[in-house]
Structure 1
């Protein structure tokens, strides 16, 4: 058995500050209270506070200027997609917006892959698709399915699509357990994804886009149903 991670004071403080920022208690552009005041208010040392600040600076929520103070960044104007996992942990409502992007980007990737995939890439796609059907169900199928989509992105020949695919998968991580619905049965998951791979193999861009659209819409519906269940909400809130 794996030992459960222990929350440190810095972990708790980081979470408290992050929630205060994302809920607007500390709005974008505002300066946080002086370090001494904040440390006293939270009952922590200034060293602990600085560690929490450092994490939030790295996450793109704060910026610190020596002699000026610590200001809340406007993450919606200045931030990048790397913030998505954190935002999903804050509020699973972000998942709906992520899925909207998933639908449009996923269909475009399939279309581009059909136009550009090499014979070796088609062979890789078929091999990875077979792995979906041979997985044990649930989490292993979900991971195998993700590898097919990464391969589709690589088959476009455009590395930006690869990075976008990785970003979207990373965004799911905080609620991944609640999104396992479409992957419980390996054969069904395989058959659902097969038309996308075969359309790419046939070099039929229009059919690939349509098949990807069907796949993405169907799996989205199942995943959102799972997320809406009480146990799904608890998983997403962890």
Structure 2
């Protein structure tokens, strides 16, 4: 059993402020009320407020101008992909957009991996595919499946693909428990992924792209049905 996380008052305040920003209560470009007013409004100390502000500034939602105040940042214009987990927690609608990117990037990664994978990487892909079929439950199957995709990204020889893969997986971690439907049967999950690995191992670039597109489209549909 996993211990439940214990939220501090800073955690609660950060979450409340984040939702108020993303929901438009504090619109983009607007300055927040003075710290004393906000602290009183949320019934917290100014020290607690400053800690929450620090987290939200680090996340890219707020910016402070000395002597002027704290303003809501235009995260869609200035933010990065590291905001995605936060945005998914705010609204699951983001998941469909993440999956659209997952399809296009995943297909390209498979194609590049087929062209560039080393013999060691091909062997590793076979081993990781076997681990998908041997995983004991849906959670373990899902995690084993993720490792295959990480290995495909590494096989491209391009570290940016690796980081993009990590970013996309991290993006839907907040709702991962609701996305287990394609992984409830380990052997079926392995069978879906096997054509991708086969094509990459065979060096079939076009085949790898087609197989990846088919796999990503099928699993996306199942996961979105489960999320709904």
Structure 1 counterpart of 2:206: 206
**Superposition deviation, residue 66 in structure 1:** 2.0
For residue 232 of structure 1, what is the aligned residue in structure 2?
none
- Offset at residue 159 of structure 1 (A): 0.5
Q: What is the TM-score when the length of structure 1 is the normalising length?
A: 0.94
Structure 1 runs (4+) greater than 6 angstroms displaced? none
Correspondence for 2:168 = 168
Whole-Å Cα distance in 2 between the matches of residues 93 and 2 of structure 1? 28
Structure 1 position 2, deviation (Å): 3.4
In the alignment, structure 2 segments of 5+ residues that lack a partner are none
Residue 61 of structure 2 is matched in structure 1 by 61
Distance 2:193 2:5 in 1: 36
Query: Which secondary structure state, in structure 2, belongs to the residue aligned with residue 67 of structure 1?
Result: coil
- Deviation sequence 1:32-80 (CA, Å, 0-9, x none): 0100111111111100110110110111100112211101110000000
TM-score by length of 2: 0.98
Indicate the residue corresponding to 2:137 in structure 1: 137
1:120 aligns with 2:120: yes
Report SS of the residue matched to 2:26.
Answer: coil
Task: Give, in whole Å, the separation in 1 of the partners of 2:3 and 2:186.
Answer: 30
Whole-angstrom CA distance in 2 between matches of 1:135 and 1:73: 43
Partners of 1:41 and 1:173 in 2: CA distance: 32
Please give the per-residue CA displacement for 1:80-131, whole angstroms capped at 9, x wherever unaligned: 0000000000000000000000000000000010111111110010010010
Q: In 1, Cα distance between the equivalents of 2:4 and 2:179?
A: 23
Structure 2 residue 13 is the aligned partner of structure 1 residue 13:
yes
1:183 CA displacement: 0.6
Q: Secondary structure at the match of 2:142?
A: helix
- Report how far residue 137 of structure 1 moved: 2.3
Equivalent pairs counted in the alignment come to 228
- Displacement of 1:29 in angstroms is 1.2
Structure 1 equivalent of residue 107 of structure 2: 107
- 1:213-224 equivalences under 5 Å are 213-224=213-224
- Report the alpha carbon displacement of residue 186 of structure 1 after superposing the two structures with TM: 0.7
Quote the RMSD (CA, aligned, Å): 0.8
Provide the C-alpha distance between the structure 2 equivalents of 1:140 and 1:10, rounded to a whole number of angstroms. Answer: 33
Matches within 5 A, 1:162-201: 162-201=162-201
SS in 2 for 1:63: strand
